Amino acid sequence: MTPVYETDSSVYRPGMTWTRTSREILPCPPSALWPLLADFGRWPDWDPDLSSAELHGPAETGTTGFLVPTGFRGRVHSRVAEAFTITSLVQEREIALRQPIPLGAMDLVFRLTSVGDGTEFVQEITLGGPMHAVMVAVIAGDVVKHFDVKCARLVELAAAQADHDA
């Protein structure tokens, strides 16, 4: 018998998932990057796939929020999508959220790990459910494709903040 995994808004079976992990070493410490990750309102500053992001409370596990993708898909998402939920938040280490998608869920994780004088920045995206292939085409492919842009923008913003603080 195939086990069934239940999520907050869906049920999906093994084999109905798509996961991609991207990683890059960034030349700044986690403490310089964390404020950019922990401030959801600033996510569009470094994520080219978002036009807005907001939390419905403090940045902590269990808090809900809303992400609006750019372009046409953002207009559709704004009308039909449910709120995401922060599933993990570990200061200066990890933010994870779960976004319901039709008949499944998208899990998005950002991790920061100190490596020498820099930080390994990891993005992991998992789509689960029978509509995962459609959701890859609609949004997830860009989330992965634009990882290098996210990294470059995070480094630029962290450097600008360091210059401002100096």
Tokens of 1: 């018998």
The residue-averaged pLDDT of 154-160 equals 96
pLDDT, tens only, 64-100: 999 988 877 677 767 878 999 999 999 999 999 999 9
pLDDT, tens only, 113-143: 999 999 999 999 888 776 666 666 666 556 6
Q: What percent of the chain has pLDDT over 70?
A: 80
pLDDT score, position 108:
93
CATH homologous superfamily for 5-165? START domain (3.30.530.20)
Q: Residue type for 46, please? A: W
Backbone angles phi, psi at 123, to 5 degrees: -120, 125
Domain range list for the chain:
5-165
DSSP letters spanning 60-83? STT-EEEEEESHHHHHHHHHHPPP
DSSP letters spanning 112-155? EEEETTEEEEEEEEEEESTTHHHHIIIIIHHHHHTHHHHHHHHH
